[in-house]
Structure 1
Amino acid sequence: MDRINRRGHKEKYFVGKHLRFCEIKYQILNNYLSTYPPRFPCPTEFHVSELRHDTNFSGLQAILSDPGFKDPGTGTNASQGLVWWSLAITGNGIADAERRFLLQKGVDNGCKPFLYKFTSSPAFRKASRLGNFRFTFPITELLESYADQFCQGRAPQMRIYETVVYKQEVMYAVVVHAPDVQKEFKKYPLLEDCSTAPCSFQDGKIVWRPQGLSKTHAFRLAPASKTLVKKVPRKKRKFCMWDHVVLAFHVPQDKIFRFEKETLVKHLSLCQGTLPNLNTEGFIKCEFEANSDHQ
C-alpha cells in the first residue's frame, strides 16, 4: 500500500482497483479527500480520443534515436516495461463534455460556455510537468500499432492496473498488454464498460468521469444563474483533490514500441514546462503558440 516511486516520492497504491474518492477516504487519512469542493458540474464525462507522452530533451533524443518508446528503467517483473501515456484533452473535448452534462441535466444549451472555468487541474493544462516535448497520438493508432507489433494482430487487453494516491492527486492507471502475457497480468481485472467507474473504454475512446476538476475551485455551479456559474470568494477557496487517468503500454524488456521517425515527428509538438518539475532536467525556454489545440 505504501512505496517510494522511481522519482523518490512517497505514494499510496491499490493494486487492481480504481477506487473513487469516497472509497479512498475510508482507507487512508488525507485532509484533501475530506474537503468537499463547492458545487461543480458532476457527473461529467470526457470522451478522449488522443493520448500524450511528455518528455524532456534527453527522452526526446532517445525516442527519435530508437525510434520509438520503451521504459527507461530496469527490471524484469510485470511492473517494469511500461510506457506511460496521459489523456490529451482539447478545448473541443471540454465543450463536448459540457454539452453532455447539459443534456443529462435537461438544461437549455443557450448558456455561455462554463465548464472550462472548472478545468484548472494539471490534467487539463497545456503545460507539462515532465518536459517540453510532447507526442500526441490517436488512441486507435496506438492500439493498432501495438496489436501489429506485440499481439500478432489480435486486440490488446486493457486492465485495471492500480489507483495511486499522492498528497493532492489521484491517478487511475490502466495497463495495456498483449494476450500472450496474460499470465503476468491476470490478477488485474479487465477494464469493463461501467458507467459508475472512474474510467472505461468505449468505441476507441477513454471515457473519464473525473471527481476533481481543480486543485482549487475558483467557481461554483449556480443553476439559478444565467451563466450557471459564480465566483467563489478568494478567502473561501479550498484546496481539493484532483484526479486523472493514464495508460501504461507493456513493452517487453529489450523491445521497443516502434514508429517511423517521420511519424514521430508528425505527432511531436513543444509545450511549456510547469512546476513541479518531475524530471531531473530543467525546462527549455522558448516561444510557444498561444492557441495550440493540444493540451
Structure 2
Amino acid sequence: MNGTDLGRALRELRVASGRQAKVVARSAAMSPSKLSKIENGALAPSVLDVERVLTALEIPKEVKEQLAEAARQVATEATAWRIYRRTGLHKHQEEIHAIEAQTTLLRVFQPSCIPGLLQTPEYVRGVQKGSELTDDALEKMIGARLRRQEVLYDRSRAFEFLITESVIRWKLLPAPMMAAQLDKLIAMSRMPNIRIGIVPLSAAMPGLPTSSFVLFDGRLVIVEIPHAEITTSEMRDIELYVDKFQMFDRVALSGEGARDLVAGVRDDFLREQETA
C-alpha cells in the first residue's frame, strides 16, 4: 500500500461514516484542503495524519491498527522549519498537541533548551529570538505552546524529561527570568506523573547528545535538527532512540538530586540579579 492507496482508504472510511470532510479535518487538527489532498492522492499522508484522521472517524481498533501499520511502512519524513514558519508555527504546535493527547508515555531528551512542555512564556520568546517571526505569529505560537502544557495535568499520562545540565545553565534570558524558569522545572518535577532527569556535567558521558528527540509511546519518534524536524515510525529507528534515552537516563540525576542541582543553578541566577 502506498500513499495514494492510504488516502483512498481514508476517503472511503470517511464517506462510509457519513461525516463531512471539514468536520473530520477540524477534529484531526488539519486544514480541509490538506485532508482533500490526502484523500485524492495529491499528498502522501504521514503516520500522524493517518492516526489523527482515524481517531476523528472513531474507526474500530482493528482497522485503525491495520492502516496505522501500513502508514508506518511507507516512509520516514523530514519537514524543514522554514515550511512550518511559512504555514504557521502555531498550527504545527496544534498538530503536536493532537499527538500528545493520544500518548500514554511521552519521553523527551533535550540537550539544547528547556523542553517546550516545561517552558515559561518568557522562555518561549527567548527560544524564538532571531526567528524572524512577526509579532502576531509569535503570539499565536506562544499561545499554542502554552495550551499544549495542559496535557501535563492529565494523571492518566506519564512524562519523562531528560535535560543536560548545560541547558539549565545556558543564559537564554536575563537572570530573573532564568530563575523563574528553573523554579517552574522544580515545581513540575514534583507532579506524580512527571519525572525530570538532569544529566550532570560531572558525569562520565556514555555518548554524545547529538540531537533532541521525543518518543511517543513506542510508536513514533520526532527528532529536531537545525534545519528540519524528522518523524519516523520505523521500529528499528525508534529502538535506536529508546536506547539513547536509556543510556543518558542511567547517568541522570532525578528526584531530590535533580531538584537540588536545579535549585543551585537558580540560586546562582538570583545572586547575579542581586549584584547587578
Bin of the TM-score, shorter chain as denominator length: under 0.3
Under a length normalisation based on structure 2, what TM-score does the superposition of the two structures give? 0.27
* Structure richer in strand, relative to its length: 1
* Structure richer in helix, relative to its length: 2
Which structure exhibits the higher relative contact order, with contacts defined as CA atoms closer than 8 Å and separated by 6 or more residues? Answer: 1
